[in-house]
Amino acid sequence: MACEVERRRRDEAQHRLEVAQDPERFPNEVDPCGPVDPGDPTSARVHAQCLAQLRRERDTAQLFLDHCEKGLRPPGFLQDQGHLDRLHVREVEDIGTPGQDFIAANVAFGFREEPFRGRIFGFALRSEAPFREAQLQLLRDAFTHDHLVVFEYNQELNNRFSIVQRIEIRK
C-alpha cells in the first residue's frame, strides 16, 4: 500500500512504452512517439529517441519503486529524528558496498526507531571541517543520556547509508 504511487507510475510508464512500440496493438490509444514515416530517416531517428526516453522514464520509475519497497524515504534532503541505538567512531573506512550502497565515514550511527532500523548514518572527521568534532560530541552526549537527535541528511536513491549534514539534540 505504501508504494502504490510508485507502482502506478512504473505501470503507466511501461504502458506508454508498449503503446509506442506496438501502436497497432492499442488502436484506441495515441502513440506517444507519433507515427513513423518509412521514407523519412529523420522520422525514424526521432521515434527511436522517443522510445529511448520512454525506456528511461520506465527504468527511473522502477528505481523509485525498488527504493520504496526497501522501506527507504524518498530521495532528497530530509530532516528526521530518533534515539541512537549505536555509535561507532573509527578510522575512515568505506561502510557498505562501494559503487552502490556505501559511505566513507569515521563516525557511524543508527537509530532504534522505524524507519531507520538497519540503516547507517555517518560523516567523516576532517581537519577542514572542525564542526564535525562538535557533532561527534553531541552524538556522544545523546547516546549517553538517551536524548532525541534531530538530523538532516541527503537520502540518495536506493542507498541505506546516508551522510548527515546537521545534528541537533533535544532533551
φ, ψ at 16 (rounded to 5°): -60, -40
CATH number at 76-170:
2.40.50
* Residue boundaries of the structural domains of the chain: 4-69, 76-170
Start-to-end Cα distance in the chain = 35
The answer to whether 107 and 122 are in contact (CB under 8 A) is yes
Distances in Å between the Cα of 158 and the Cα atoms of 36, 50, 73, 90 are 37, 27, 9, 25
pLDDT tier at 1 (50, 70, 90 boundaries)?
low
Q: What is the pLDDT of residues 106-147, one digit of tens each?
A: 888 999 987 777 788 888 887 667 888 889 999 999 999 999
* Lateral strand order in the sheet of 76-82: 76-82, 148-155, 161-170, 120-123, 101-111, 84-97
Integer Cα distance of 72 and 64 in angstroms: 10
- Averaged pLDDT score across all residues of the chain: 85
* pLDDT confidence of residue 105: 62
In 83-160, beta strands by DSSP E: 84-97, 101-111, 120-123, 148-155
Whether residue 49 has pLDDT greater than 70: yes
Integer Cα distance of 59 and 53 in angstroms: 10
DSSP state for residue 126 in the 8-state scheme: B
Helix (H) / strand (E) element for 133: namely helix 131-145
0.75 surpassed by pTM: no
165: cell is: 549534514
Integer Cα distance of 64 and 45 in angstroms: 29
